[in-house]
């Protein structure tokens, strides 16, 4: 009877030692993971600390660039209109020059005297 109790205690002791060792290893892995995450968080904080100010400066630069580009857009539109008008004038000139009757046949009727 005593032998059975000692054997059961010995089995329980070995089993509990195994469980304790597994828990200890899990705790060590969790501690390393936590240290790694803390280091990553510190690096991220260092890198992103100035991000809002940099983003604001970028937005301000884009706004100023768009404002300075507006007069150029107006000039570009005026240039396009001028080119379009010039093309229409050129086409009209070509038609006039190549046509036998530039203003239509009715304007060249010979009048009998």
In Å, the largest CA–CA distance within the chain is 155
Output the pLDDT for position 81.
94
* Of the listed ranges 35-39, 59-63, 75-79, 98-102, the one predicted with least confidence: 98-102
Question: How many whole angstroms separate alpha carbon 30 and alpha carbon 36?
Answer: 10
Buried/exposed 86-102: b ≥16 CB within 10 Å, e otherwise: eeeeeeeeeeeeeeeee
Output the pLDDT for position 99.
72
Output the pLDDT for position 70.
83
Instruction: Tell which wins on pLDDT, 104 or 98.
Output: 98
Question: How many whole angstroms separate alpha carbon 41 and alpha carbon 50?
Answer: 15
Q: What is the pTM of this model?
A: 0.45
Q: Is 104 a residue whose pLDDT tops 80?
A: no
pLDDT tens sequence across 20-51: 999 999 999 999 999 999 999 999 998 889 88
């Amino acid at each position: 009877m005593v032998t059975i109790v000692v054997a059961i205690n010995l089995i329980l002791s070995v089993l509990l030692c195994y469980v304790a060792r597994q828990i200890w290893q899990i705790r060590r892995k969790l501690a390393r993971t936590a240290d790694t995450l803390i280091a990553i968080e510190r690096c991220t904080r260092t890198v992103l600390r100035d991000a809002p100010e940099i983003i604001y400066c970028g937005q301000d630069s884009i706004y100023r660039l768009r404002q300075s580009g507006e007069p150029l857009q107006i000039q570009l539109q005026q240039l396009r209109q001028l080119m379009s008008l010039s093309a229409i004038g050129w086409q009209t000139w070509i038609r006039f020059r190549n046509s036998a009757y530039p203003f239509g046949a009715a304007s060249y009727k010979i009048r009998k005297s």
